[in-house]
Amino acid sequence: MTGTLTIAGLGPGDEALVTPEVSAALAMATDIVGYAPYVTRVQPRDGLTLHPSDNRVELQRAGEALRLAAEGKHVVVVSSGDPGVFAMASAVFEALESVPQWHDLPIRVLPGVTAMLAAAASAGAPLGHDFCAINLSDNLKPWPLIEQRLRLAAEADFAIAMYNPRSASRPEGFARTLEILKEAGCGERIVIFARAVSTPEQRIETVELRAAKPEMADMRTLVIVCNSATRRVGRWVYAPRQVR
């Protein structure tokens, strides 16, 4: 029996934002592997084994998924949002690198609606011009690199989507982020705090950067620092298409 490995994104939270392609893969699966809060988003059923795991064990989890697929299972590795955006797809390929006999396994990556896009849509169109995305967690990269990228993104006047802005174990990083952006002259830029987008707890706040407080973000928040041309229209925020 030939197993398969599918790496799927479940979107930001709302069932309606799970793509039909991902739903079909979940319906065919024998095993679901992922971080526990994402695995619980998959409906249990006969013939389906759930393998929830802790945070920060991505490589181990990826290895387990590959092993199950090599044994003939139809494995779906689930991430929130899109699996390629600060999520499990990279971890699976990293695990695959070290085991050449698995290189021919049928592997598919199914895209999902990433938090940045759902957040942008809830506020209007802040990503309508050039933008970048940065993960503010320094688990897997040195903090000075994050600072350098923030300064360069500010200088380039990109809108900046920020994932993992603030956790209990790293409360100071986001405060420092706001300071760096103020120093870089971004005080008047609009900042969107989009929390728990597409869930019943959704909350969207927009403020000028100089009025932004570190406590406005937590680990369920996606922060967008808009470009300098971005403006308000009614309750919406949008980036003009043209910048001169």
**Residue 173 contacts ligand SAH per CB under 6 A:** no
> Which residues in the 38-77 window bind ligand SAH by CB under 6 A?
none
Candidates 4, 6, 177, 198; binder of ligand SAH (CB under 6 A) is: 198
CA distances from 182 to 25, 154, 163, 209, 243 (A): 45, 10, 19, 7, 22
52, 36 in Cβ contact below 8 A? yes
86-97 per-residue burial string, b: 16 or more CB within 10 A, e: under 16: bbbbbbbeebbe
**Residue 163 contacts ligand SAH per CB under 6 A:** yes
Stretch that binds ligand SAH, among 26-34, 45-53, 112-120, 144-152 (CB under 6 A): 112-120
**Residue 80 contacts ligand SAH per CB under 6 A:** yes
**Residue 86 contacts ligand SAH per CB under 6 A:** yes
**Residue 87 contacts ligand SAH per CB under 6 A:** yes
Stretch that binds ligand SAH, among 25-33, 113-121, 142-150, 206-214 (CB under 6 A): 113-121
Instruction: Take residue 228 and report the two structure tokens written for it.
Output: 């300098």
97, 107 in Cβ contact below 8 A? no
**Residue 204 contacts ligand SAH per CB under 6 A:** no
Helix (H, G, I), strand (E, B) or coil at 7: strand
- Minimum distance from residue 164 beta carbon to ligand SAH (Å): 4
Task: Using only the alpha carbons of the chain, give its radius of gyration.
Answer: 19
**Residue 221 contacts ligand SAH per CB under 6 A:** yes
Helix (H, G, I), strand (E, B) or coil at 227: coil
Candidates 4, 6, 114, 206; binder of ligand SAH (CB under 6 A) is: 114
* Pick 177 or 198: Cβ nearer ligand SAH: 198
* Pick 86 or 158: Cβ nearer ligand SAH: 86
Rounded CA separation 43/180 (Å)? 43
Order of strands, sheet of 231-233, starting from the edge strand that comes earlier in the sequence = 124-125, 236-238, 231-233
* Pick 189 or 195: Cβ nearer ligand SAH: 195
- Minimum distance from residue 125 beta carbon to ligand SAH (Å): 17
**Residue 224 contacts ligand SAH per CB under 6 A:** no
Q: Residues near 48 by Cβ (< 8 Å), separated by ≥ 6?
A: 29, 30, 31, 32, 42
Chain residues that interact with ligand SAH, rule: CB under 6 A:
12-13, 79-82, 85-87, 114-115, 119, 163-165, 194-199, 219-222
